[in-house]
Amino acid sequence: MTTTPTAQTEPRTALVTGASSGIGEAIARELAAAGCTVAVHGRDEQRTRAVAEDIERQGGRAVALTADLSQGPDVVRALAIEARTQLGGHVDVLVNNAGVYPGGPTESLDDDTVDALLATNIRAPHVLVATLAPGMAERGSGHIVNIGSWMARVGVPFMALYPATKAAVEQLTRAWAAEYGHRGIRVVTVAPGATATPGNADSADVLTAMTKGTPAGTPVQPVDIARTVRWVVSDQAAFVTGGTIDVDGGIASTRLS
């Protein structure tokens, strides 16, 4: 006999942060294709609106929301409230994808850069969950997907703080799954590997070299992450919560030479 932990309901609304390009855009498009009305968030109004409008042209439902998540908790909280309003009063899926990833020697990171990393990568997801999870819990169903990174468990020179923020995200996932699980909310980290996005297009040769020795042999594509997120928030993943799913071509767990 097959059992499920709780009565599941396929999600119908989603907020995806950092969705004006790259991984976030791919996630927004996949969730829209799965039937969700998607709040597409970005910092650039024109790019964000273009993604939402294209989703609608292709038969999906989307709204565009702009906010700079590094600008303080009130800005993040206002984004969550606006998303909830625009999505008909409830958010079924929250995808914490927005992130910044400056690198360089530890001593070269200035205070403003450090503040932006901590505010965008850790504080913003925390504020969004604090604002939206109670509503999910009240309805008895919800999905929180945190986008992590393969770097969270690997020491990489000249890239100390960004992976540390992603390690924090993995811990938040574990804690939130424990905190909200009995109220019908599943929480999962999806951790991309070296991914080819518009934001790192100028580093294509570096990505190729990084992934050549992996089992996959090539960089991850944003759609690979998006399809995993789509599955995670579906009823097919009813028992998946509290952990990290690596979508990285094996870069974090294997060595071929």
162 is catalytic: yes
Whether residue 44 contacts residue 21, with contact meaning beta carbons closer than 8 Å, is answered with: no
- Work out the angle at residue 235's Cα, subtended by the Cα atoms of residues 85 and 64, and round it to the nearest 5 degrees: 30
Residue 220's alpha-carbon distances to 26, 30, 117, 150, 196, in angstroms, are 12, 16, 23, 11, 6
Whether residue 243 contacts residue 173, with contact meaning beta carbons closer than 8 Å, is answered with: yes
Q: Which residue, 48, 52, 18, is CA-closest to 32?
A: 52
Tell me the C-alpha distance between 149 and 236, whole Å. Answer: 24
Strand partners, 65: 41
Identity of the residue numbered 210: M
**Burial of residue 197 (number of CB atoms within 10 Å: 0-12, 13-18, 19+):** buried
Whether residue 95 contacts residue 27, with contact meaning beta carbons closer than 8 Å, is answered with: yes
Q: Which of 150, 162, 176, 180 is catalytic?
A: 162
Tell me the C-alpha distance between 237 and 17, whole Å. Answer: 22
Active-site annotation, residues: 162
